[in-house]
């Protein structure tokens, strides 16, 4: 089938389009003019437009039987008009309206584990608001809520690996005991593609986590072992010192973290993966094996 994909040039989007092609589907990717070169080789379906400009979506879904909406950001840049509200809530509203107007009933939304309209951060609240828009639509929707995703092109585990490789002392925010359940991007993408052919996935929300929950410190040690570091020496930074520093610097270009991102990190990111894995017959990928493959690329 022809599948309309937003966010196709991103980390998750490239893996989803790869698996759509492998499954015999035809991804039709929405890109802004000039960004088409970032698409995966082999993608021939291109529609030019912008999810924040609803007028560019008119007729863009022609011939498509499903929408996979992957657009998302992890950090705001308000001066550039890049906000959670605009890229999550408003963009999703525009895509839902376009799908309903152009009679494309199947709609898949990638959200986030922890999304809630009453969430503790603006990121989680905007994701929750996007979910609410999809759920009250007339579409046959499916929502995926992944935890931290890892893969060869991610911006988390590969960043940690870079620090472990070059730093004699790896900085850790807080006590490093907050827990994560990293999940392979390939597994999330596989379930997104598989759900397109399953009517029983409509109206379902899937929490996508890896089967192994680890602390942040343990994750660094696993990465260190993969990189043949005998010991990862960590230096823990007190939160009382880090938080006000981030608050004063987060608007400065190049600041690696925001206060909201710190809050989400300290809260942890875990879930029960078994309902999702069972529904899609996914085999649990051991975290160390998955990270080794990702970091070897």
Whole-angstrom distance, CA of residue 211 vs CA of residue 122: 28
pTM of the full structure: 0.95
The CATH number of residue 88's host domain is 3.40.50.720
- Report yes or no on 189 lying in a domain: yes
- Give the pLDDT of residue 297: 74
- Give the pLDDT of residue 7: 97
- Report yes or no on 116 lying in a domain: yes
- Give the pLDDT of residue 167: 95
pLDDT confidence of 253, banded at 50, 70, 90? Answer: confident
Q: Which of the pair, 198 or 254, is modelled with greater confidence?
A: 198
User: Over the chain, what is the mean pLDDT?
Assistant: 95
**Which tokens in the block code for residue 57?**
């979506």
Quote the Cα angle for 84-40-2, to 5°: 80
Q: Which of the pair, 250 or 178, is modelled with greater confidence?
A: 178
Task: Dump pLDDT digits (tens) for 85-137.
Answer: 999 999 999 999 999 999 999 999 999 999 999 999 999 999 999 999 999 99
195, 281 Cβ separation under 8 angstroms: no
- Report yes or no on 65 lying in a domain: yes
The boundaries of the domain holding residue 105 are: 2-150+183-211+270-285
- Report yes or no on 168 lying in a domain: no
pLDDT confidence of 155, banded at 50, 70, 90? Answer: confident
107, 96 Cβ separation under 8 angstroms: yes
User: What domain count does the chain have?
Assistant: 1
Q: pLDDT at residue 285 above 90?
A: no
State residue 145 phi and psi, 5-degree precision: -120, 85
Cα dihedral 251→11→182→152 (10° resolution): -110
pLDDT confidence of 45, banded at 50, 70, 90? Answer: very high
Whole-angstrom distance, CA of residue 78 vs CA of residue 120: 20
Task: Dump pLDDT digits (tens) for 56-75.
Answer: 999 999 999 999 999 999 99
Closest CA to 148 of 212, 192, 64, 62: 212
- Give the pLDDT of residue 284: 85
- Residue 268: enclosing H or E segment and its boundaries? none
The residues with which 208 forms a beta bridge, in sequence order, are 146
Q: What percent of the chain has pLDDT over 90?
A: 90
- Give the pLDDT of residue 238: 95
E strand intervals along 2-43 = 2-6, 26-31
- Report yes or no on 277 lying in a domain: yes
Whole-angstrom distance, CA of residue 53 vs CA of residue 94: 8
- Report yes or no on 230 lying in a domain: no
- Report yes or no on 127 lying in a domain: yes
| SS3 state at 140 | strand
| CB within 8 Å of 260: residues ≥ 6 apart | 121, 122, 123
- Give the pLDDT of residue 273: 96
Mean pLDDT across the stretch 180-207?
Answer: 97
pLDDT confidence of 175, banded at 50, 70, 90? Answer: very high
- Report yes or no on 102 lying in a domain: yes
Mean pLDDT across the stretch 215-221?
Answer: 98
Q: pLDDT at residue 254 above 80?
A: no
- Give the pLDDT of residue 279: 98
């Amino acid at each position: 089938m022809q599948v309309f994909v937003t966010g196709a040039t991103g980390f998750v989007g490239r893996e989803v389009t790869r698996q759509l092609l492998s499954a015999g589907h035809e991804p039709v990717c929405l890109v802004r003019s000039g960004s088409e070169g970032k698409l995966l080789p082999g993608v021939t379906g291109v529609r030019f437009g912008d999810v924040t400009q609803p007028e560019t979506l008119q007729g863009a879904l022609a011939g498509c039987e499903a929408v996979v909406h992957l657009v998302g950001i992890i950090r705001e840049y308000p001066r550039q008009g890049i906000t959670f509200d605009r890229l999550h809530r408003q963009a999703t509203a525009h895509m839902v309206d376009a799908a309903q107007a152009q009679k494309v009933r199947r709609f898949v939304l990638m959200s986030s584990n922890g999304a809630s309209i009453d969430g503790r951060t603006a990121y989680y609240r905007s994701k929750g608001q996007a979910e609410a828009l999809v759920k009250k639509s007339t579409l046959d929707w499916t929502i995926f809520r992944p935890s931290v995703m890892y893969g060869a092109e991610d911006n988390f585990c590969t960043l940690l690996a870079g620090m472990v490789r070059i730093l004699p002392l790896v900085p850790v925010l807080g006590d490093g005991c907050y827990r994560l359940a990293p999940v392979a991007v390939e597994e999330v993408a596989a379930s997104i593609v598989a759900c397109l052919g399953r009517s029983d996935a409509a109206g379902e929300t899937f929490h996508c986590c890896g089967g192994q929950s680890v602390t942040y410190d343990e994750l660094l040690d696993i990465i260190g072992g993969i990189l043949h570091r005998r010991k990862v020496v960590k230096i823990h930074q007190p939160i009382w010192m880090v938080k006000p520093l981030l608050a004063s610097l987060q608007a400065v270009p190049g600041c690696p973290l925001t206060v909201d991102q710190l809050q989400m990190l300290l809260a942890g990111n875990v879930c029960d993966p078994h309902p999702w894995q069972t529904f899609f017959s996914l085999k649990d990928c051991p975290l160390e094996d998955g990270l080794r493959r990702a970091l070897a690329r």
